[in-house]
Structure 1
Amino acid sequence: MARPIRCGVLVRSLPARYPDQVSAVALLGAVREPAEAGRKAQRDRAAVLREKGTAATGPGPVDPKQPLLLVTGSDDKVGPPAASQELVDAHGNAVFEIVPGVGHWTALEAAGPVIEQLRKFL
C-alpha cells in the first residue's frame, strides 16, 4: 500500500522487481505524471540522490497480472479521481473506489471506508 507520492513511485516498481514477494498493490490518492517542469525537478533531485549514492526510480504502470486497488477521494485536487482512472485504464483489471466527500488525505479523512476497501481487496 502506498500513500505519499515517493512511496507510490516505489510501490509501483516493486511487483516487477520482486514478483514472488508482492501479491497485490493498493494506491491511495494516485497522482498523474508531473508536467515537464515537475519532471525536471524530479530529474534534478534524482541527480543529487545519485551523487550521494541513492539511485532514483521513476513511476511506471503496475503489471496487469498484479492485483491493483486504487482508492481516492471525490474531492482530491492533488490526486483527482481522473488520475486514478488513467491508472485503472492503463492496468486493465484494477479495482477503483472513489470515497465521496473526501479530499487528498483519503486514509485519514475516511479511515473506515478505506480499511473496508483494503479488507475486501486483500
Structure 2
Amino acid sequence: MLPAESRLRNAADFRDTMRQGVRCGRASLVLHARRSSLASSRAGFIVSKAVGNAVTRNRVKRRLRHLTAAELRATPLVVDVVVRALPAAAASADLADDLHSALSTCLDRLAA
C-alpha cells in the first residue's frame, strides 16, 4: 500500500506530470513520469469506465497500487508517476511486466 505522502492527490499534480513528463505505453497501461524535487516518489492512477465495471476497476487499481509501490521503492530517482490503465489491464496477466518495462523506459529517458 502506498502511504499518503506517496500518492498524487490533486488534479494539478496529475496534469503537470502528464504534460511535462515522459510517456511510455504498453499493451495494458500508459505510464507518465517526471522528476520531482520532493523527498519521496509519488504515484497516481487513472482507471476509466472503459476498463470494466466498478469491481473490475477497483481490482485493477489495487493491483496497480501494489505493483507500483514495490517498483517505486527500487527507483534511483525521485519521480511523480501517473499510471493510466487501458481496457486490456482487466484481463492482463502481464500487468507487472508491463509496469516494470514502462517504468524502466521512462526512468532511462529521465536520466538522460
Q: Which of the five TM-score ranges fits, normalised by the shorter chain?
A: under 0.3
Higher helix share: 2
Question: Which of structures 1 and 2 has the larger relative contact order (alpha carbons within 8 angstroms, sep 6+)?
Answer: 2
Structure showing greater radius of gyration is 1
TM-score of the two chains, using structure 2 as the length reference: 0.27
